[in-house]
Amino acid sequence: MAKVIKGDLSNVSSIVSALQGDEADTTNLINAINGFINDSPSTLVGAGYNAARQKMGLYLENVQSRQQISAELASAISSGAASLAGYMGEYDVLDDSEIEEIASEISILKSKISSARNTIYRINLSNVNSENPVSTSYYYNCISRWEATLKELEKKLDRLIGLGGADSAAFSQVSSLGGDVAKYDASIQGRKISSIR
């Protein structure tokens, strides 16, 4: 079962903004670390400073991995939300729990249209030799309205039937990064700066 509200998709932009802000902060941190690593050999000497540079180099690798993960997550989240919003088209809410209800409405409308056409046929037969023919315009107007409604309901039904697949495709864009996030987590767990001697 899937229910998507277009307004919720626009809220994703705050997550993307946070990830992009984190990426920008990480860039500043990378620049500061690189500055320390590159400038310190000329001004700082000794085993302690060499160990500090080594620790900063490992920390730099972790920070660069974090920056890459943040950029990839921001892109995947943004792309997933955009593809789902595109799939929704003109609908503000799509809820596939409505499939049975809409299918029932479609069936009722088709029955009404068929019944009205039969009535028109019978009226036309009786009008053949009649001096006072009965108008069928009411039935034609009803059929026209019902067919327009039917077209809209069938269009929405198609969207609802495909919603689960569209939702899964959007989610998979983000979840596909789960392995990368797990690798990053494992790398920082296995490479704590304080444990380097």
CATH number for position 54: 1.20.1270
Identify the pLDDT of residue 191: 54
Across the chain, what does the average pLDDT equal?
85
Burial of 95 (0-12, 13-18, 19+ CB in 10 A): middle
pLDDT for 196: 45
Q: What is the mean pLDDT of residues 2-29?
A: 83
How many domains does the chain fold into? 1
The tens digit of pLDDT for each residue in 138-152 reads 999 999 999 999 999
pLDDT of residue 190: 60
Percentage of the chain lying above the pLDDT 90 cut: 33
Phi and psi at residue 196, in whole multiples of 5°? Answer: -80, 130
Q: Which domain holds residue 79?
A: 3-195
Q: Give 89-131 pLDDT, tens digit per residue.
A: 999 999 989 999 999 999 999 999 999 999 999 999 998 888 8
Token output for 8: 């919720």
End-to-end CA distance of the chain: 53
Q: Are residues 167 and 4 in contact, defined by beta-carbon separation less than 8 angstroms?
A: yes
